[in-house]
Amino acid sequence: MNAHQFAFLCCLTWITLACGGPAAPAASDAKSAEVAPAGDGAVAGDSTAVDALDASDAHAPDAAADPFGPAHCDPLQPLTCAFPFPSSHYLQADASTKTGVRVVFPPGALPKSSADAPVDGKPWSRLDGFSVTPSLLVQFADLDVSAMADQKTIDKSVAKDAQTVWLEVDGAGKVLRRIPHWVEADRRPNTADGKIDPATRITFLRPGVILNYGTRYVVALRKLKDSKGQAIARSPAFEALATGKTAGTSLAARQARFDGILQILQTEGIAKDEVTLAWDFSTYSSDAIHGPVLQMRDKALAALGPKGAELTFKTFAAKKDGGTDDPHIAHTLRGTFKAPNFMKEVVLAGSEATKDAVKCFRWNLDANGQLQQNGWRDAELWIRVPKSAMDGTPHDYLQYGHGLNGSGNETYAGWVGPNANSRKFIYIANSMIGMSNEDGAIIVSILLDMSRFPCLPERVAAGLVEHLVLARTMKLHGGAALSQALSAHLGKAVTIADTGKVFWSGNSQGGIYGQTVTALSQDITRAHVGQPGLSYHLLLERSIDFDDFAAVLSGIYPNRNDYVLLLSVVQMLWDHVDPMTHVRHLEAEPFANTPKHQALAVVHPGDFQVDAVTMEIAARSGYFKILPVYGKPVPLVPESPYPVAGSGLVSYDFGNSWFIQGNLPPGQEDGLECGDPNLPHADGPCLGKALCDPKGTFKLCKLKDPHDRAHGLKSHNDQMRHFFDTGEIKDFCGGDGCKPE
């Protein structure tokens, strides 16, 4: 979806909102949101299961006189209902799950829209814990974060005297490690007049690593002060828990748990009296988060059998929509392939019989919560055959992953032909349904009512699997199918030979989800992922691409705290498909019956659309190595010398500095830091909206985004080809870093 199309959709959103706001979910939608049992996709290596909560921790109605408020809110931070988040306050004991607990958001815990529509918490109860890259949300009036770890000093967060402490503990309460993280004050307006009110501003604790599955975490903030240097007082609820004065209140059921938390902190040298706030939470199992997608993958590939999917070719043009011929491409085949369908259509608003019905697609689950095939779907297909393949020379298949709300027609880009022709690739592509140009109306309907959010990750899961179906099909008989189709089209015998190898190359959204596709694939073992990231809720507010979405969401959820909470809450369902739950399964812990994979990740300093900080989280977790001349120090991650075998992170520098901008997109006037040695001077290239002159004064100039600029570079494409052939990441930039400009 291009910018003009999305602008139209945003207008449509506002029109709908002005005409009465989001409609209540239809009955069929409510039915589709019932709890789905955990899937069957567990892998070896899950961490120790979390403690099961006592049955007394389940939320019961409070007495009207209870000083700590309604049970659906957590009184530890009374300014916002569900803070701190995530918290074991929203876990209930459940022996049927792998971790022994289940997420439960009771009515009223999640925000309402401006049209008074609450977010339905039922879909989240399929999970047995919280996200493995959660942003911890806390709220203290006028909190001074200046001495806390920031994005450049993450190593400070694991120091003994750190003000913020994030501990991984085992089932017996033994501390296993301190979790590196950074602290970030919300930099977005939180008042109706577009200003920031320090009294109600949110503070984020961002994870520096990906957490383990099925594991308990204890968090503490100590010796907190405000901007005037005054000590910040505990909330009444935490004071009662810390001093053991909860008898006769709703907090009494939590007392033993908090006694244990404070004892764990004491073993780390953290005295009870210095703790301003502490709590715990636990993460979901691999079984719960990956089970449905792995079910879909295994059933889809089994349904294909040894013949693969049926391919139907409709056109054979070498050019796009009447455009000019590509001198490197012999034929572009457009058509469809038969993909197993595991979705069912659900009416969100309107009537099935009317043209104005708003629909989405949900997993087709049986009564036992197992995915079932619901026929077959005609999925769009693009294949670009270079002239170098027309003489029968064997070529590899390069499966392309498109950008945000795009489609496979991105393979018409000008850099595709030369790369295919000179490096012996046949490009194949389909659309990542769920976040493709087919999904604009569904995305708008989700923005209108976040109870509909499950529509997005569930359909993306189907998109992931359709990519696996296409890869398997081309590996099985792609050459024969192309030879037959082109011979019939040209009226003469044509032989298209393949090597039987399929590689992945995706950019932006295709770089993000390319990590997930590759981790799930039994056929693709090496991938190039350009401008990648992970953990969408952390990426979104750092991207200029989110500005339009943010404008819509802030109109529907005008309370900034509600809006931020929802981004973290929906991430838990997004985790089914988000690469942050899959990167560990590329190489370190492959899924069962799945080979090891390697990925070459390419990022750019000052990328305005996808911030590389999330890939640095994956590197700090041990899943990517950072290659030399990355361009900045990455706390707690040393550079690995060339060549590297396996997955690695390479920087191509087009002149921008590395932005340390918090939860704002680059290009804001305060998004750059004067004095940064990587920042061009005023007399140098104008590569940012705000630059500093030699005296440290900001100078405004035209924005220039390095995103998507490496595709046509010889060094980049030679590095990718070498990686596909050998599994080795080698320097093709002359030893001083890849700096095309």
Same-domain pairing of 31 and 63:
no
Which 8-state DSSP code applies to residue 220?
E
Same-domain pairing of 36 and 107:
no
**Radius of gyration of the chain from its Cα atoms, rounded to whole angstroms:** 26
- Among 284, 301, 334, which residue terminates a domain? 284
Same-domain pairing of 265 and 345:
no
- Measured between alpha carbons, how far is 126 from 288 in angstroms, rounded to an integer? 7
Same-domain pairing of 125 and 189:
yes
Name the band, by pLDDT with cuts 50, 70 and 90, for residue 58.
very low
Q: How far is CA 320 from CA 48, 387, 426, 471, 663, in A?
A: 54, 17, 17, 23, 38
Tell me the residue range of the domain where 389 lies. 1-42+311-507
Q: Which long-range contacts (CB under 8 A, 24 or more apart) does 672-680 make?
A: 672/698, 674/698, 678/605, 678/631, 678/632, 680/655
Q: Per the structure block, which two tokens stand in for 316?
A: 């054979």
Strands 644-645 vs 728-729: parallel, antiparallel or unpaired: antiparallel
3-state secondary structure of 312: strand
**Model confidence at 621: pLDDT above 50:** yes
Segment 121-169, tens digit of pLDDT: 999 999 999 999 999 999 999 999 999 999 999 999 999 999 999 999 9
Length of the chain: 741
Segment 223-244, tens digit of pLDDT: 999 999 999 999 999 999 999 9
Is 34 inside any structural domain?
A: yes
Same-domain pairing of 7 and 24:
yes
pLDDT of residue 282: 98
pLDDT of residue 675: 44
pLDDT of residue 608: 87
**Model confidence at 637: pLDDT above 50:** yes
Q: Span 168-178, mean pLDDT?
A: 97
- Measured between alpha carbons, how far is 515 from 729 in angstroms, rounded to an integer? 17
Tell me the DSSP string of 157-170: GGSTT-SEEEEEE-
Q: How far is CA 683 from CA 553, 693, 701, 705, in A?
A: 40, 8, 11, 19
Backbone angles phi, psi at 609, to 5 degrees: -110, -40
- Measured between alpha carbons, how far is 32 from 399 in angstroms, rounded to an integer? 33
Is 540 inside any structural domain?
A: no
pLDDT of residue 477: 96
Is 572 inside any structural domain?
A: no
Per the rule left: phi > 0, alpha: psi between -120 and 50, beta: everything else, 45 is left
Same-domain pairing of 672 and 583:
yes
Same-domain pairing of 481 and 340:
yes
- Measured between alpha carbons, how far is 306 from 385 in angstroms, rounded to an integer? 24
pLDDT of residue 350: 65
Name the band, by pLDDT with cuts 50, 70 and 90, for residue 321.
low
Segment 444-455, tens digit of pLDDT: 888 888 999 999
pLDDT of residue 40: 32
Is 563 inside any structural domain?
A: no
Going along 460-597, which residue ranges are E strands?
Answer: 498-507, 524-530
pLDDT of residue 67: 84
Integer distance in angstroms from the first to the last C-alpha of the chain? 30
Going along 408-479, which residue ranges are E strands?
Answer: 425-429
Same-domain pairing of 378 and 257:
no
Of 684, 706, 686, nearest in space to 694 by CA: 684
Q: Taking the mean position of all CA atoms in its chain, how far away is CA 328?
A: 35
**Model confidence at 63: pLDDT above 60:** no
Same-domain pairing of 352 and 367:
yes
Is 545 inside any structural domain?
A: no
**Model confidence at 629: pLDDT above 70:** yes
Neighbours of 693 (CB within 10 A): 12
**Model confidence at 3: pLDDT above 50:** no
- Measured between alpha carbons, how far is 481 from 472 in angstroms, rounded to an integer? 13
pLDDT of residue 246: 95
Which 8-state DSSP code applies to residue 226?
B
Average pLDDT of the chain to the nearest whole number: 87
Tell me the DSSP string of 619-669: HHTTSSEEPS--SS-BTTB-B-PSPEES-EEEEB--SPPPP--SSS-TTST
- Measured between alpha carbons, how far is 275 from 701 in angstroms, rounded to an integer? 46
pLDDT of residue 323: 56
Which 8-state DSSP code applies to residue 34?
S
Name the band, by pLDDT with cuts 50, 70 and 90, for residue 70.
confident
Name the band, by pLDDT with cuts 50, 70 and 90, for residue 21.
very low
CA angle 314, 315, 316 (to 5 degrees): 135
Of 131, 77, 80, nearest in space to 109 by CA: 80
Segment 183-239, tens digit of pLDDT: 999 999 999 888 999 999 999 999 999 999 999 999 999 999 999 999 999 999 999
pLDDT of residue 353: 61
Q: Span 350-376, mean pLDDT?
A: 84
Q: How far is CA 13 from CA 8, 448, 552, 556, 679, in A?
A: 9, 7, 7, 10, 39
Q: Which residue has the higher pLDDT, 608 or 486?
A: 486
For the chain, give the percent of residues with pLDDT over 90: 73
Q: How far is CA 157 from CA 130, 164, 328, 342, 639, in A?
A: 22, 7, 53, 44, 21
The answer to which of 261-265, 315-319, 431-435, 696-700 has the lowest mean pLDDT is 696-700
Same-domain pairing of 107 and 222:
yes
Is 359 inside any structural domain?
A: yes
Q: Span 650-663, mean pLDDT?
A: 85
Is 592 inside any structural domain?
A: yes
Per the rule left: phi > 0, alpha: psi between -120 and 50, beta: everything else, 283 is beta
- Measured between alpha carbons, how far is 231 from 137 in angstroms, rounded to an integer? 20
CA angle 460, 466, 470 (to 5 degrees): 150
Segment 493-522, tens digit of pLDDT: 999 999 999 999 999 999 999 999 999 999
**Model confidence at 654: pLDDT above 60:** yes
Count: domains in the chain: 3
Most confident of 191-195, 349-353, 480-484: 480-484
Most confident of 501-505, 538-542, 562-566: 501-505
Q: Span 564-585, mean pLDDT?
A: 97
Segment 97-116, tens digit of pLDDT: 999 999 999 999 999 999 89
Is 71 inside any structural domain?
A: yes
Q: Span 259-266, mean pLDDT?
A: 98
pLDDT of residue 64: 53
**Model confidence at 694: pLDDT above 80:** no
Same-domain pairing of 203 and 81:
yes
Neighbours of 95 (CB within 10 A): 8
pLDDT of residue 319: 63
**Model confidence at 396: pLDDT above 70:** yes
pLDDT of residue 679: 42
pLDDT of residue 35: 30
Neighbours of 328 (CB within 10 A): 18
**Model confidence at 667: pLDDT above 90:** no
**Model confidence at 354: pLDDT above 90:** no
Q: Span 547-571, mean pLDDT?
A: 91
Same-domain pairing of 87 and 144:
yes
**Model confidence at 702: pLDDT above 50:** no
Which residue has 């996200």 as its token pair? 131
Q: Span 573-596, mean pLDDT?
A: 98
Segment 90-99, tens digit of pLDDT: 999 999 999 9
- Among 507, 523, 549, which residue terminates a domain? 507
**Model confidence at 561: pLDDT above 50:** yes
Q: How far is CA 442 from CA 31, 123, 358, 439, 460, in A?
A: 18, 18, 7, 5, 12
pLDDT of residue 322: 52
